[in-house]
Chains A and B, each alone.
Chain A
Amino acid sequence: AQTVTQSQPEMSVQEAETVTLSCTYDTSENNYYLFWYKQPPSRQMILVIRQEAYKQQNATENRFSVNFQKAAKSFSLKISDSQLGDTAMYFCAFIRRGAGSYQLTFGKGTKLSVIP
């Protein structure tokens, strides 16, 4: 079974600064997908960014970027120019679809607080 570990239960960052959230995973598979989801106080789960394991280039979405290290099984999220609206729980997720199977695992989340 796949496991996803987010080692930082809580983090804080000053507004306009940069913060990095860590995520590591354990799998023996080669083809899979990784996602970061954001859950603000409203509880809505919002996709932040996705990464295909077969792509070496790190995904980027505006102020959000990932550092994907496949050999190290690491998938960290960097938030640049942090804004108050970035305050939320952030979940790392691993998804793999194989023949006759579908595996989806979320990490336990990191609570990020952006301080004015």
Chain B
Amino acid sequence: DTAVSQTPKYLVTQMGNDKSIKCEQNLGHDTMYWYKQDSKKFLKIMFSYNNKELIINETVPNRFSPKSPDKAHLNLHINSLELGDSAVYFCASSQGWDPGQGAQQYFGPGTRLTVT
């Protein structure tokens, strides 16, 4: 059983398009995250939701909008895609968001987005 799954695994699209990446976790966790990993492997957190409430919203273009229909899902919608959006996007989940309470993050397999 896949704990944290993302679809699609690969996404190739043209500049200006709108696309979504879906994330689902079956661990019963209440906190989910989106990360972006650029071509230099630098991993940066973008958003985090705890019980469907946004708790981390780093400085990312407002073309990126997370949507959490329920605790098990956190989707990432990207409008007007740009070349610089090409990266691998990782979803993760944890129970709680306090690492002191054992909030260990479990990562999905990643979605490689290529904008042409």
Contacts and interface: CB of A to CB of B under 8 A. Distances in A.
B107 A33 contact: no
B79 interface: no
A18 B110 CA distance: 30
Interface size class for chain B? 20 to 34
A102 B97 contact: yes
The prevalent SS among residues of A at the interface is strand
Nearest to A111: B41
Interface string B38-77: 0011111100100000011000000000000000000000
Given A42-B109, A45-B90, A50 B99 contact: yes
Contacts of A42: 109
B76 to A, nearest CB: 16
Given A104-B45, A108-B42, A109-B41, A44 B97 contact: no
B42 to A, nearest CB: 5
Contacts of A43: 88, 109-110, 112
Interface of B: 40-45, 48, 55-56, 88, 90, 92, 97-100, 104-107, 109-110, 112
**Which 4 residue pairs of A and B lie closest in terms of their CB atoms, listed nearest first?**
A45-B107, A33-B99, A106-B43, A43-B110
Interface of A: 31, 33, 35, 37, 39, 42-47, 50, 52, 89, 91, 95, 97, 102, 104, 106, 108-109, 111
